[in-house]
Structure 1
Amino acid sequence: MKKIILFIALCLVNLRLYSQYKEFHPGEIWKDNKGIHINAHGGGVLYHHGTYYWYGENKSENSNNALVGVMCYSSQDLYNWKNEGVALEVSDSKESPIVRGCIIERPKVIFNERSRKFVMYFHLELLDKGYAAANVGIAIADSPTGKFTFLKNSRVNAGKYPLDMTKEQKESTSTVADFKDWWTPEWRKAVEDGLFVRRDFMGGQMSRDMTLFVDDDNKAYHIYSSEDNLTLQIAELTDDYLNYTGRYVRVAPGGHNEAPSVFKKEGTYFMITSGCTGWDPNAARLFTSDSIFGPWKQHSNPCNGDGADLTFNSQSTYILPVAGKKDAFIFMADRWKPKKPSDGRYVWLPIKFENGLPVLGWLDQWGLNVFN
């Protein structure tokens, strides 16, 4: 009888832990069902069959490198999250591109209706190579919680030029070696005209900070920071989401954007990004377009109020559509803590709209009823 009572008491404690939140508290410790701060940084969320799945980087107390892999958490209400374990494990084999100690960042997962497979993309840097590889990694699973199987890694669209690059730009003989000094007006103009696209043409375009977006017609797109983080690119995926069709475009060439997050509302595509200041926050940027392939128009910082100039001390990672609520979107961002990476915090804020454009304001706490 004592064992039964103890078991019931433990179940009640676990239930209390798992249902402890009734609203969001941006920037604060966010505990999972085990009472541990959620470890899913630079993440994204998949909604599948009534459940949300949050994927993100597992960070250790002392390192930003991938020592564990990609985590998965599940939730029905978006407030309370169950730790589903490691969705994609790093390898112990030094022959593997995802060997323990490599860099895995910003994992995103989408579901392919045709193959019934869950497909994960992530920014991958090879062990002990710094950020030189600038690869995309791809993994696949039969279940949203994994285990995901690593398939391959590469740069993007080798041997292909962007759809929006002119004949003159493609045939230019200007090379990186022509510019002794960077950041000059002449160098910037060369970058805008495809200097780094031509440099990386044969080996493929660089892919760092990234997200995935599935459109209304189930066409999927990989959006990533490329050209030494100077230009965003949007690349169309094949129907199985495992390869590229070769169709891609450049967004804000030379604009120095990273951390892209994309959503669609009433036929308009919105993209919120950040500037490039390492682990330090900066002002968010907003772009809109009537087509995923552009042209994209830049607008002013979508953040308002105190802390707006630093995106409330955070950096964008994903825009989450709330299931069952029309035009309800959550801005997901990270507060990086490079000296103690596992303590990084999450800033989730509701997106409001003014004059047809998204607006972000700080809230100490809030609930999904703000969308009603």
Structure 2
Amino acid sequence: MESKMLKPIFIAIFLLFATGSFAQQKQNTVSPGELWKDDQGNHINAHGGGMLYHKGTYYWFGEHKGEKSNNAYVGVTCYSSKDLYNWKNESVALAVEDNPESLIYKGCIIERPKVIYNDQTKKFVMYFHSELFRRGYEAAYTGVAVSDKATGPYQFLSAARVNPGYWPLNMSQDHRRLKLKAEDYGKWWTPKWREGVEQGLFVRENFYSGQMSRDMTLFVDDNGKAYQIYSSEENLTLQIAELSNDYTRHTGKYIRVEPGGHNEAPAIFKRNGKYFMITSGCTGWDPNAARLLVADDILGEWKLYPNPCVGAGAELTFKSQGTYIFPVQGKKDAFIFMADRWRPSNPIDGRYIWLPIQFENDFPVIKWMDRWDLSVFN
């Protein structure tokens, strides 16, 4: 009798597996700060990420983190989605290398990877902040890799500082000619030292080796021109650098933004002909208030505005730090702010804060939502 009763139970369990009822449940909302599982039931591991939309599919690239380290022991991961709610693990797009001579040797630092597509070459181009194995953050390199497929594998091309031998377009001839060095300005954070930073102290120091590049993002303009935006000059000044037509090199054309302003984590988008950039201050892994920069020309003058986040938690950007802003396809004026809630004691458990950008008086506003879906843009 007992065996007869157990048989229907076994049949039911078999049917559950056969019909996929035990598969990861489909999602239809975004829940900022909660565990976000992929198609295999694992928390998505794509921190400091960026988004690429190509031929009907979104591709989310990010840092693969472990439980005890923020260093790159795996590489850059890629996930794909048709609806922005449910994500398929496409595995590792750019793998670290086992050769100790490699600039991306296992255990190095790879942060904030971003991928753009080049219509002319039909290549996918990845940029990332690169630091050498066991050298901390002293290198301040930009890494570049390419692939014929969005999901990879990506071929590592180079890692180096940016635009050696070139002056910023918006640095005056007088400041270029100054011979003063860091020690001539005295202690850091004094008014005299701040004046030195504004006059291009670190630009001059790194003129021949190339400009430092740490937190970064990429942006492709309406005319196909691409730019890298990165935190430079010891994280004191943002720089915006034009990329070559194939997107794999810098052209030597770049500007400084907010010299001495101490901005990092840039995220940029364009709406109605204006460029908007949301950044953060520099407080390590701890959150702080976001900043807003606005310009009419990407290589023109940028103006600083107050925190675009409003409401409870705005003073700490809802306990997160921005990483990317991307448009939702098929919807007008629909942009999503991607941010990370870092957990340095257990990096793999870092959470994702995605929030819709709203507009008030033509300026972006970000408000907290416990749960939302794309209908907010309707």
Instruction: State if a TM-score over 0.5 links the two structures.
Output: yes
Offset, 1:256: 0.1
User: What amino acid is the match of 1:243?
Assistant: R
Offset, 1:245: 1.0
Identical columns (%):
62
Structure-2 change in CA distance of 1:244 and 1:35 (3 Å):
same
Tell me the equivalent position of 2:332: 326
User: What amino acid is the match of 2:82?
Assistant: Q
SS in 2 for 1:67: coil
Is the Cα contact below 8 Å between 2:186 and 2:193 reproduced in 1?
A: no
Say which of 54, 77, 82 aligns to 1:76.
Answer: 82
Q: Deviations 1:288-344 (Å, cap 9, x if unpaired)?
A: 000001200010100001100000000000001101111100000000000000000
Structure-2 change in CA distance of 1:120 and 1:178 (3 Å):
same
CA RMSD between the two structures: 1.3
Counterpart-to-counterpart distance in 1, 2:34 and 2:18:
26
Tell me the equivalent position of 2:364: 358
User: What amino acid is the match of 1:9?
Assistant: F
Is the Cα contact below 8 Å between 2:141 and 2:159 reproduced in 1?
A: yes
Greater gyration radius:
2
Tell me the equivalent position of 1:275: 281
Tell me the equivalent position of 2:3: none
User: What amino acid is the match of 1:58?
Assistant: H
1:192-341 to 2 correspondences below 5 Å: 192-341=198-347
SS in 2 for 1:44: strand
1:139-154 to 2 correspondences below 5 Å: 139-154=145-160
Offset, 1:179: 3.0
Is the Cα contact below 8 Å between 2:49 and 2:60 reproduced in 1?
A: yes
SS in 2 for 1:351: strand
How many residues are matched? 368
Counterpart-to-counterpart distance in 2, 1:192 and 1:13:
60
Say which of 349, 352, 357 aligns to 1:346.
Answer: 352
User: What amino acid is the match of 1:195?
Assistant: L
Is the Cα contact below 8 Å between 2:186 and 2:192 reproduced in 1?
A: no
User: What amino acid is the match of 1:182?
Assistant: W
Offset, 1:21: 0.9
Tell me the equivalent position of 1:106: 112
Say which of 27, 33, 39 aligns to 1:27.
Answer: 33
Q: Deviations 1:198-242 (Å, cap 9, x if unpaired)?
A: 000000000000000000001000000000000000000000001
Counterpart-to-counterpart distance in 2, 1:8 and 1:347:
33
Counterpart-to-counterpart distance in 2, 1:8 and 1:298:
56
SS in 2 for 1:198: helix
1:123-162 to 2 correspondences below 5 Å: 123-162=129-168
SS in 1 for 2:227: strand
Counterpart-to-counterpart distance in 2, 1:263 and 1:77:
21
Q: Does 1:173 align with 2:179?
A: yes
Q: Which runs of 5+ in 1 are unaligned?
A: none
- TM-score, length of structure 1 as denominator length: 0.97
Q: Deviations 1:228-261 (Å, cap 9, x if unpaired)?
A: 0000000000000011111000000000000000
